[in-house]
Chain A
Amino acid sequence: QVRLQESGPGLVKPSQTLSLTCTVSGASISSPNYYWGWIRQPPGKGLEWIGSFYHGVTTYYNPSLKSRVTISVDKSKNQFSLELNSMTATDTAVYFCARQPIEVVSLHFDSWGQGTLVTVSS
C-alpha cells in the first residue's frame, strides 16, 4: 500500500522560499506508471494543482505558478520536493503531495499525503 508523507516548515516569512519534501513508501517514484505531484488548498478555498513530474525526469507546472515553482526528485531516497519562491500571504495553504496514475483522458490522483499547513507570516 502506497503512503505519502509531506514534511517541511509550517511557517515561512514573506519573500522567502518554501521547501517541502514528500517521502513515498510502498511504491517507487521511478515507476513508469505514475506521475507524482503537489496540490495545495488555501484556507476556506478550493484545491489548486501546483505541478507534477514523471519518471523523475519530466516536470509539468501550473502556468499560473510556473515562474516560481521547482519540483525535484531524489530517487535514492524515494522522495520528491517542492520549492516555491517569493512567498506571499496568498501562498498560505495546506500543501498535499499525491500520486497520479499515468492516464491522459481519465486524470485522477489516487493516493494523497495527509497534507501540511504552511503559513506565510513575518
Chain B
Amino acid sequence: SSELTQDPVVSVALGQTVRITCQGDSLRTYFATWYQQQKPGQTPVLLIYGENIRPSGIPERFSGSISGTTASLTITGAQAEDEADYYCNSRDNSGNVIFGGGTKLTVL
C-alpha cells in the first residue's frame, strides 16, 4: 500500500489520554512523523519524528510509538489547546513523501 490511513475524527475528554493512529504498510520500513495544525491553512507544527523525538518546545505530553504497520501519537492529559488537526507523514514503499488524511481531534 502507498497510503497512510488515519481516523477522520477523534475526541477526548479534557485531561484524559488519547491515541491517534496512522496505518500504512510502509511504516514497517519508515518512521511516522506527526504534525499539529491548529486550523486548516495554518502552518503545521512538527510534533514527533524518528524514534519518538520531540523538537524543542513540544510538550512532553506528546509521544509517538509504532506497532507493526500502525504508528500512534499519544497525548497524555489532553489540554483544550490540543484541539486541532493531526497529520502523519512518512514515505511510501517507493520512497515518495506521503501524508495521512488527517485526524480532527476534539477536546470535550
Contacting pair B40 A108 (CB below 8 A): no
Is A57 interfacial (CB 8 A cutoff)?
no
Residues on A with C-beta less than 8 A from B55 are 110
* Contact stretch, chosen from A23-31, A47-55, A70-78, A80-88: A47-55
If A106-B31, A107-B91 touch, does A112 touch B96 (CB 8 Å cutoff)?
A: no
Residues on B with C-beta less than 8 A from A112 are 43-44
Query: What's the Cα separation between A94 and B37 when bound, in Å?
Result: 13
Chain B facing A: main interface SS: loop
Contacting pair A49 B98 (CB below 8 A): yes
Residues on A with C-beta less than 8 A from B49 are 106-108, 110
Give the residue of A41, A46, A49 whose beta carbon is less than 8 angstroms from that of B96.
Answer: A49
Chain A facing B: main interface SS: loop
Q: How many residues of A contact B (CB 8 A)?
A: 28
Query: What's the Cα separation between A104 and B51 when bound, in Å?
Result: 13
Residues on A with C-beta less than 8 A from B91 are 104, 107
Give the residue of A37, A43, A105, A114 whose beta carbon is less than 8 angstroms from that of B40.
Answer: A43
Give the nearest-CB partner of B101 in chain A.
A46
Query: What's the Cα separation between A52 and B99 when bound, in Å?
Result: 14
Give the residue of B46, B95, B98, B100 whose beta carbon is less than 8 angstroms from that of A108.
Answer: B46
Give the nearest-CB partner of B90 in chain A.
A107
Show 16 A/B contacts (Cβ-Cβ < 8 Å), sorted by A.
A37-B97, A39-B99, A46-B101, A49-B99, A63-B96, A104-B30, A104-B91, A105-B31, A106-B50, A106-B51, A107-B90, A108-B46, A108-B49, A108-B89, A110-B46, A110-B49
Q: Which 9 A-B pairs have the closest CB atoms?
A: A106-B50, A108-B49, A49-B97, A108-B33, A47-B99, A106-B31, A46-B102, A94-B41, A112-B43
**Other 17 A-B pairs with CB < 8 A, given A46-B101, A106-B33:** A41-B40, A41-B41, A46-B99, A47-B102, A62-B96, A63-B96, A105-B31, A105-B50, A106-B31, A107-B91, A108-B89, A109-B35, A109-B44, A109-B46, A110-B46, A115-B42, A115-B43
